[in-house]
Amino acid sequence: MATLQTRASARLMMTPAVVLLLLWMAVPLAMTLYFSMLRYNLLMPGMEEWAGFLNYRFFLTDPAFLTGLLNTLLLVGGVLLISVGGGILMALLLDQPFFGQGIVRLMVIAPFFVMPTVSALVWKNMLMHPVNGLFAWIARTFGLQPVDWFGEAPLFSIVMIVSWQWLPFATLILLTALQSLDTEQKEAAEMDGAGALSRFIYIVLPHMARAITVVVLIETIFLLSVFAEILVTTNGGPGVQTTTVTYLVYVQALLQFDVGGASAGGIVAVVLANIVAIFLVRLIGKNLE
């Protein structure tokens, strides 16, 4: 049992770390807030002046902003749907005993280790390219017109690439959950005459609920900031069809060198991410209790 003195000394010793961590977060956030109120363009030195909410007004009324917001949500939603749905199917498959299981499992997780830029380049130039790509070659073999993926279905193409990367993660987590399921339960249900589908719906799925929640939460955090795939393949286009909020902030910061505008965009993104987080925790966070 801790005495009053040891508790006090523990607090004292923890203080530097806590203060450091606070500063680590607070200083950048404060600076971003400060910059977001300035007219501050890197290319026009010496012109910094207080601008109030001007940057916010311009960012929020940007014609690309609403599209960006919608695209972000579509991207996150699409990838979650594919990776969780696909992940459940893959986990069920991989849970079956079959020859070469170890190697197959290793290959299934492989995409997760490929860097986003590299995988985007491979998808763009070797798979989805309408002249030289594999998909175009397959289409032509069957006498079909090749699809110009990034021109005709840009957002869908990005969702595909990102899903391909996150599917292994979902599969892995869901597979571990599946393996922790007690076989006796399943056997008992089988003896009671439950079909495969009802066994899945009433036993397997509820058992995986917690793992699914973890996957959804973690993926959402990372998917809200998907960037490399967009930059490499479509550059946010054509038009603003694949522009997300993150990409808009990038445009402000590194194409226009508008630090003020980018900071305002960053703050807006933080607020939006928090709204999504609250919504998620309310909706599915119950599973974690």
Q: Which residues contact 96 (CB under 8 A, 6 or more apart)?
A: none
Q: Is 255 in the site for other proteins (CB under 8 A)?
A: yes
Residue 220 or 243 having the CB closest to other proteins: 243
Output the CA–CA distances (angstroms, integers) from residue 288 to 93, 173, 210, 217, in the order listed.
26, 15, 6, 11
Q: Is 45 in the site for other proteins (CB under 8 A)?
A: yes
Q: Collapsing DSSP states into helix, strand and coil, what is residue 49?
A: strand
Residue 65 or 166 having the CB closest to other proteins: 65
Residue 82 or 251 having the CB closest to other proteins: 251
Closest separation between CB of residue 166 and other proteins, Å? 24
d(CA 17, CA 63) in angstroms, rounded, equals 44
Closest separation between CB of residue 276 and other proteins, Å? 26
Given 58, 156, 200, 222, the residue binding other proteins (CB under 8 A) = 58
Q: Is 138 in the site for other proteins (CB under 8 A)?
A: no
Residue 38 or 129 having the CB closest to other proteins: 129
Q: Are 222 and 47 in contact (CB under 8 A)?
A: no
Q: Is 44 in the site for other proteins (CB under 8 A)?
A: yes
Q: Are 233 and 89 in contact (CB under 8 A)?
A: no
Q: Is 235 in the site for other proteins (CB under 8 A)?
A: yes
Closest separation between CB of residue 243 and other proteins, Å? 8
d(CA 203, CA 186) in angstroms, rounded, equals 7
Given 254, 278, 283, 288, the residue binding other proteins (CB under 8 A) = 254
Residue 225 or 235 having the CB closest to other proteins: 235
For residue 39, what are the β-bridge partners? 49
CB atoms within 10 A of CB 100: 9
Q: Is 240 in the site for other proteins (CB under 8 A)?
A: yes
d(CA 228, CA 167) in angstroms, rounded, equals 18
CB atoms within 10 A of CB 192: 8
- Cα 104 to chain center, whole Å? 25
- For 11-39, letters b (16+ CB in 10 Å) and e give eeeeeeeeeeeeeeeeeeeeebeebbbbb
Residue 85 or 239 having the CB closest to other proteins: 239
Closest separation between CB of residue 47 and other proteins, Å? 9
Closest separation between CB of residue 163 and other proteins, Å? 20
Stretch that binds other proteins, among 1-9, 38-46, 94-102, 176-184 (CB under 8 A): 38-46
Q: Is 148 in the site for other proteins (CB under 8 A)?
A: yes
d(CA 165, CA 219) in angstroms, rounded, equals 11
Given 33, 146, 156, 181, the residue binding other proteins (CB under 8 A) = 146
Residue 124 or 174 having the CB closest to other proteins: 124
Query: Which residues of this protein are in contact with other proteins, per CB under 8 A?
Result: 41-45, 58, 63-64, 124, 129-132, 146, 148-152, 154, 233-241, 243, 251-252, 254-258
